[in-house]
Amino acid sequence: MESTITRAIVTRYFEKLQQHLSIDVAIVGAGPSGLVAGHDLAAAGLKVAIFERKLAPGGGIWGGGMLFNEIVVQEDALPIVTDFDIRSEPAGEGFFTIDAVEAAAALILGARRAGAVVFNAVSVEDIVFREERVAGVVIQWAPVQQLGMHVDPLMVTSRAVLDGTGHASEIAQLVAQKAGVKLETATGAVMGERPMWIERGEATTVENTRCLYPGFYASGMAANNISGGFRMGPIFGGMFKSGRKVARLILEELDG
């Protein structure tokens, strides 16, 4: 029985990994925008893999605001909330509250049921760069990276790469610094996040969601940090809308 159980896990995992070594879209970070994008792209028939460094996908949703596990969304984001069958409660002035744990769990399940595959405890440490285009990601076990072990990584090629790493915008840093190219920002580089201004932060999260270099996109707080947008705190409508927008932009490019 012991060997049967181990064999089943190893066989199925490596089948899953082999099937996703060459994909349509590599999403780095399983936060809210990445999960919404993964859901929409997979539902449209693309082969999508989401790489998440932490053991639990979901990004910053789980803790709500200061560990009060409730989040807020605005009315214009409710269609996306409904798509994932997440329940909400009116909070006045066009806002709604959502249980943070339910939201995270629903986004993860929705992305998986649509066909996106999540590789958790896997860190992206570099990009694949070919013919003046971002063409994939370089992956490593997150614990190997955290322990500082000298172990060579593996590579996954893709037609598009999405930076959903949040405030750190780690993939954009790699594109700008290691590839030495200019991003589609006012300065050509990662501009950094501005202080909290909820109204502007929600708007700029969606506005800054775009293609920043051939084959390279950003969504959510990564997009805001890259283009110098404002922080917005535990309100998530802009994050959901950013994920949906970037999925549409990627589909337009890859299907065009």
User: For residue 156, how far is the Cα from the chain centroid?
Assistant: 16
Whole-number pLDDT of residue 87:
98
CA distances from 117 to 40, 108, 156 (A): 13, 10, 13
Q: pLDDT value at position 45?
A: 97
Which are the contacts of 24, defined by CB distance < 8 A and separation ≥ 6?
41, 46, 47, 48, 158, 159, 160, 254
Residue 139 has pLDDT above 80, yes or no: yes
12-40 pLDDT per residue, tens: 999 999 999 999 999 999 999 999 999 99
Residue 155 has pLDDT above 80, yes or no: yes
Q: Which two tokens stand for residue 3?
A: 């060997």
For the question of whether the overall pTM of this predicted structure is more than 0.95, the answer is yes
Q: Is 148's pLDDT higher than 90?
A: yes
Tokens of 122: 């896997």
User: Residue 227: pLDDT band by 50, 70, 90 thresholds?
Assistant: very high
pLDDT computed for residue 255 by the predictor: 87
Average pLDDT over residues 110-127: 98
pLDDT band at 4 (very low <50, low <70, confident <90, very high): very high
What does the mean pLDDT of the chain come to?
97
Residues 112, 35, 176, 216, CA torsion sign: positive
User: What domains lie within the chain, and their CATH numbers?
Assistant: 22-255 (3.50.50.60)
DSSP sequence for 120-180: ETEEEEEEEEETTEEEEEEEEEHHHHHTT-----EEEEEEEEEE--GGG-HHHHHHHHTS-
pLDDT tens digit string along 182-205? 999 999 999 999 999 999 999 999
| Residue 11 pLDDT > 90 | yes
pLDDT at 256 over 80: no
